[in-house]
Amino acid sequence: MKFPNLTPGLLCNFVGMKRSILFTACAALALCGKLIPLAGQYQDPLTPTRIVRVKVYLQGAEVYRSARAELPKGVSELVLGNLSPYINASSIQVSSTNNVAVLSATFRNNYMVPVKLPQQIRLWQDSVALLETEIRRLETKKNLLEKESEIFLNNRSIGGSQNGVNAAELQKVADLFRSRMNQIREEHFDVVQRMGKLQEQVNRLNNQIAERSGNSSKLTGEIVLQVASEQATSTDIECSYLVQNAGWSPLYDLRAESTGQPVRVISKASVYQNSGEEWNQIPLILSTGTPNTSSNLPVLQKNDGFSFRGKEPQYEGYMDGIRVQNAPPQMMEVAGVTVMSDDDQDKNEDMRQDRLRKSLNTQTLGNLVAVNSSAIAVDYEIALPYTVPTDGKMQLVSLKEYSLPGSFSYYTIPKLEKSVFLVADVTGWQELNLLPGPANLFFKGSFTGQLQLDLNPETDTLKLSFGKDKKVLTERKLIRNYAGRQLVGGKKSMELGYEIQLNNTNKETVNLEIRDQIPVSTSEDIRIDEVKFETPSGVKTIQDKESGQLTWKITLKPAETQKIRVRYRVVYPKELELLGY
């Protein structure tokens, strides 16, 4: 659009008129917004309740609430509101006093009540609203400046196509154009900079709100009660229900101050909930029960017969330092020995380590809390009230502390790892109602690591690893002098051996248990024989011939070094080749 005779005065009047129109439109929209009723103004009257205690299960929680209500004579309706939207309707239990009968209890969700957030979050949200209002105001100003700039740029021709303009007027217009355009660009730049800084503040506040509020639901639950009374009276109502999105898991601190003192077991619980209800200073009961599981009795069905599967030949196995190649197809698996054809040579060393780790299992394993045991669960009643926000984050709760007798020793499997572990054999744990869970290990006040507490009911001894002792050294190496090949009755034989060296650099004596393994054959074509051991005086070799596991128990004095040697022979068909020793 062109303005043929646009003078500086007319131009300024036009821009001012546009601003006035935009301002009037914004004011009209704001006025219309005030006329829209709030969605939460039309709600059923709620009977206020309070949480008196919460029983938290491993999965789920049971919430206990109380309320007091004034009732007229006859049948009336009570609405218990601001509850969790994740209530299990089948679990609702309600009781009343003063001969008030509870006719029915129905659960429903209410989408019209805003979630009540903590005061700090509400303050942050108010700050976000103010900042966003300022950003919108600046956005309006930015748009006006851009429109004004567009008007100047689109109407640079003056005086019309027929009439010219003298030099004085041209100079005035040029000065006005240059001055105003500079002002527009500077104001536009300042507005954009200001909007960017305000948006950064909004983003930080929104991130903080999301961090604190978690996945808070936008809806709430309600329990609608139909009650009846023969006369006008007051009544106390007790209500309980199960909710999802809550639970707890056990964890432990295992502390030992020295090898001559008992092991302290400090049990804790990680409690979480995202039920939509705030648990503020509430007495907690932590239960090992599982109310959400099925209670149906198992029933045996008719057995129609057996299922069979053919056993396929095994062409591979592993043995320490040895790989057998070019096995005939009919060769069955030899435990601890690799029998490989040419097509199977791509099997790698990781499989050997995995097989060895499976065969040699090295996994090691207050007055304010009342413990109540029943036939189906153990409950920990905590005297101190706790606050657990509805944000799904773990809250640490201290439970009980126990002292258990422990016998300390050192443990190593040089075949798998050179490290030596300090191990405590703890007894009496079966009487403590412990659950499997992660445990933090501390020795002499220092954190030494973590382990998964594996509770095996078949043994009364709990083996706990308190980490690695770098002052006890081990080394396992092949003895080359033992390596030799020869023919025995048309078969090949290989004589092998290795040495385990142990060194104690501690200032105190240590009791060390060493485990190792020799291969075991399950095939008549391959055999392991002439097994020999060289051990320090008084040290016995305990051999499990079925698995090939070897065990020695040695006492090492300070700065003492001991050695153990193992020697054996492998006899195998001459068409095979041993590799990798």
pLDDT tens digits, 543-568: 998 888 999 999 999 999 999 999 98
For strands 437-443 and 246-256, give the pairing.
parallel
- 426 and 547 in one domain? no
Ramachandran angles phi, psi of 85, nearest 5°: -80, 0
Q: Is residue 344 part of a domain?
A: no
- 140 and 155 in one domain? yes
555, 568 contact by CB (below 8 A): no
What's the pLDDT score for residue 526?
85
- 542 and 502 in one domain? yes
Per the prediction, the chain carries an average pLDDT of: 78
- 490 and 420 in one domain? no
Q: Hey, is 563 helix, strand or coil? A: strand
What's the pLDDT score for residue 315?
40
What's the pLDDT score for residue 69?
95
- 279 and 150 in one domain? no
| Placement of tokens 């509770």 in the chain | 455
- pLDDT class for 294, splitting at 50, 70, 90? low
- 133 and 100 in one domain? no
Residue 105 has pLDDT above 90, yes or no: yes
What's the pLDDT score for residue 338?
39
pLDDT tens digits, 121-174: 888 989 999 999 999 999 998 898 888 888 777 765 555 555 555 666 666 767
What's the pLDDT score for residue 364?
29
- Nearest-angstrom CA–CA distance, 468 and 449: 9
Residue 227 has pLDDT above 90, yes or no: yes
Least confident of 38-47, 145-154, 235-244, 437-446: 38-47
What's the pLDDT score for residue 373?
65
Average pLDDT rounded to a whole number, residues 383-402: 90
Q: Is residue 59 part of a domain?
A: yes
Instruction: Select the highest-mean-pLDDT range: 91-105, 109-123, 148-162.
Output: 91-105
Least confident of 258-262, 282-286, 324-328, 446-450: 324-328
- 387 and 273 in one domain? yes
- 410 and 527 in one domain? no
| Residue where a domain terminates, one of 453, 468, 483 | 468
Residue 327 has pLDDT above 80, yes or no: no
Q: Is residue 296 part of a domain?
A: no
pLDDT tens digits, 249-267: 999 999 999 888 899 999 9
Exposed/middle/buried for 472, CB within 10 Å: 0-12, 13-18, 19+? buried
pLDDT tens digits, 14-65: 344 444 444 444 444 444 444 444 444 446 688 999 999 999 999 999 999 9
Number of domains the chain is built from: 4
Cα–Cα nearest to 205, from 116, 131, 124, 130:
124
230, 87 contact by CB (below 8 A): no
Using CA of residue 272, residue 277, residue 283, residue 288, what is the dihedral sign?
negative
Cα–Cα nearest to 549, from 293, 309, 336:
336
Neighbours of 54 (CB within 10 A): 25
Instruction: Select the highest-mean-pLDDT range: 103-117, 511-525, 539-553.
Output: 539-553
- 197 and 92 in one domain? no
What is the residue range of 75's domain? 49-111+217-243
For strands 284-287 and 49-56, give the pairing.
parallel
Residue 510 has pLDDT above 80, yes or no: yes
What's the pLDDT score for residue 115?
58
Which residues, listed in sequence order, are joined to residue 447 by a DSSP beta bridge? 442
Least confident of 171-175, 217-221, 327-331: 327-331
- 270 and 234 in one domain? no
What's the pLDDT score for residue 286?
94
Give the domain CATH number at 531.
2.60.40
- Rg of the chain's alpha carbons, rounded to an integer? 40
Least confident of 33-42, 186-195, 260-269, 513-522: 33-42
Q: Is residue 307 part of a domain?
A: no
| Residue where a domain terminates, one of 468, 486, 509 | 468
pLDDT tens digits, 69-89: 999 999 999 999 989 999 999
Q: Is residue 536 part of a domain?
A: yes
- 413 and 449 in one domain? yes
What's the pLDDT score for residue 535?
93
Least confident of 148-157, 389-398, 523-532, 559-568: 148-157
Q: Is residue 368 part of a domain?
A: no
